[in-house]
């Protein structure tokens, strides 16, 4: 299911308040922040850190009693108009907020809560998840903060570290080990060779690791860049110094090579409209395999085949799609009976 970018901005009533329940996982929080930003609200972020017993009981158990209403913890009024959550540990908090607010808070859960469609007023899941229902919205890619407006703004105001690179520029986005993926020596060698191929093709190279990227992987790529003699006008490898210009890299890339271990990273790459080349690290099939196949079938991505390829597609914007559905359902939820 494709979700082409739409310039129409969602519109909530003035003064609409919003909470985000933060699970502590960067992917979940990126999903929630992306939707909140697309809604145009200043969301209050509440870190959910239940004690071990209550963590283990989530998503089916109760909130940690110290966070319950009337304890001076997380769930204290005034309650928000909208609450957004993602991650297993946040499910009890979203349910309890709904009850504490007397049902007046419109609740949104991103990803499959594992507790059924009645967990929230609106649930979003990626297409490769199985949950379906009248209140379940399905898109191919995940929500994230890289909106069309932010990408356009980055193109108009380039980071000096990116601006000094000669055009055309290619982004190499590195992930890390996951439940099924590993980054072995052969993967380090393959990614280093990809970096060399891009430079030898006359392109400039922009490289960014994620928080999960093993140090050896980043260093292998950096060493390959150095061996090619690429100066500061041909290559930039972010190694944790200063702000990570990840948004800038994607905004200015004529092509993106991304490791296929992260649904979020791959989805963010497809928000650019630039050709997305997938490098699949060592590991067996996972539930994301179907996601990758649908991106490829839809013409949004191709597997890395030893060289850069050029093609065109309409950028994907799941975030805007989700935000518009939140607005539509929230207005209906609050409409006079």
Domains of the chain (ranges plus CATH)? 18-145+318-334 (3.40.50), 148-303 (3.40.50.2000)
- Which residue in this structure is represented by tokens 């870190």? 47
Distance of alpha carbon 334 from alpha carbon 337, whole angstroms: 9
Distance of alpha carbon 231 from alpha carbon 199, whole angstroms: 11
**Cβ density class 81-97: b for 16+ within 10 Å, e for less:** bbbbbbbbbbbbbbbbb
Per-residue model confidence as pLDDT tens digits over 208-258: 999 999 999 999 999 999 999 999 999 999 998 889 999 999 999 999 999
Q: What is the mean pLDDT of the chain?
A: 94
Q: Quote the pTM value.
A: 0.87
Output Rg (C-alpha) for the chain, integer angstroms.
Answer: 21
Distance of alpha carbon 166 from alpha carbon 111, whole angstroms: 40
Distance of alpha carbon 236 from alpha carbon 9, whole angstroms: 34
Indicate the DSSP class of residue 177.
Answer: -
Residues paired with 236 in a beta bridge: 206
Peptide bond into 59 cis (omega under 30): yes
**Cβ density class 24-45: b for 16+ within 10 Å, e for less:** eeebbbbbbbbbbbbbebebee
Q: Which two tokens stand for residue 194?
A: 């990809």
Q: Which two tokens stand for residue 336?
A: 């006079």
Q: Which two tokens stand for residue 228?
A: 């090619």
Res. 1 pLDDT band, cuts 50 70 90? very low
Res. 3 pLDDT band, cuts 50 70 90? low
| Run of H or E residues at 172 | strand 169-174
Q: Is the pLDDT of residue 142 over 50?
A: yes
Distance of alpha carbon 145 from alpha carbon 151, whole angstroms: 10
Per-residue model confidence as pLDDT tens digits over 279-327: 999 986 666 788 999 999 999 999 999 999 999 999 999 999 999 999 9
- Which residue in this structure is represented by tokens 């145009």? 40
Our measurement of the distance from residue 197's CA atom to the centroid of its chain's CA atoms, rounded to an integer in Å, reads 28
Indicate the DSSP class of residue 288.
Answer: H
Count of beta carbons in the 10 Å neighbourhood of residue 315: 16
Distance of alpha carbon 174 from alpha carbon 216, whole angstroms: 12
pLDDT on residue 49: 97
Contact between residue 273 and residue 188 where contact means Cβ atoms under 8 Å apart:
no
pLDDT on residue 273: 97
């Amino acid at each position: 299911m494709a979700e082409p970018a739409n310039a129409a901005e969602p519109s909530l009533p003035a003064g609409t308040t919003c909470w985000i329940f933060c699970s502590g996982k960067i992917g979940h929080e990126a999903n929630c922040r992306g939707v909140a930003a697309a809604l145009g609200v200043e969301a209050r972020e509440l870190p959910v850190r239940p004690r071990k017993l209550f963590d283990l009981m989530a998503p089916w158990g109760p909130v940690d009693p110290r966070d319950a209403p009337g304890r001076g913890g997380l769930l204290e009024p005034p309650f928000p108009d909208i609450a957004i959550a993602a991650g297993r540990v946040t499910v009890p908090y979203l349910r309890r907020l709904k009850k504490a607010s007397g049902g007046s808070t419109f609740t949104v859960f991103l990803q499959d809560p594992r507790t059924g469609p009645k967990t929230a007023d609106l649930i979003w899941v990626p297409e490769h998840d199985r949950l379906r229902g009248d209140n379940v919205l399905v898109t191919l890619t995940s929500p994230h903060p890289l909106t069309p407006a932010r990408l356009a703004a980055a193109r108009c105001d380039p980071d000096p570290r990116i601006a000094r690179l000669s055009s055309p520029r290619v982004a190499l986005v590195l992930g890390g080990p996951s439940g099924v993926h590993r980054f072995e020596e052969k993967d380090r060698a393959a990614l280093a060779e990809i970096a060399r191929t891009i430079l030898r093709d006359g392109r400039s190279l922009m490289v960014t690791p994620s928080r999960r990227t093993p140090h050896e992987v980043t260093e292998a790529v950096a060493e390959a860049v150095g061996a090619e003699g690429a100066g500061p006008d041909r290559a930039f490898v972010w190694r944790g110094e200063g702000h990570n210009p990840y948004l800038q890299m994607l905004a200015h890339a004529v092509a993106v090579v991304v490791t296929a271990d992260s649904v979020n990273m791959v989805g963010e790459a497809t928000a650019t409209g630039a050709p997305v080349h997938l490098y699949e690290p060592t590991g067996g099939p996972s539930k994301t395999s179907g996601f990758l196949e649908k991106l490829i079938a839809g013409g949004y991505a191709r597997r890395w085949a030893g060289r850069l390829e050029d093609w065109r597609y309409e950028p994907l914007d799941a975030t805007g799609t989700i935000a518009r559905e939140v607005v539509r359902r929230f207005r209906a939820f609050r409409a006079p009976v």
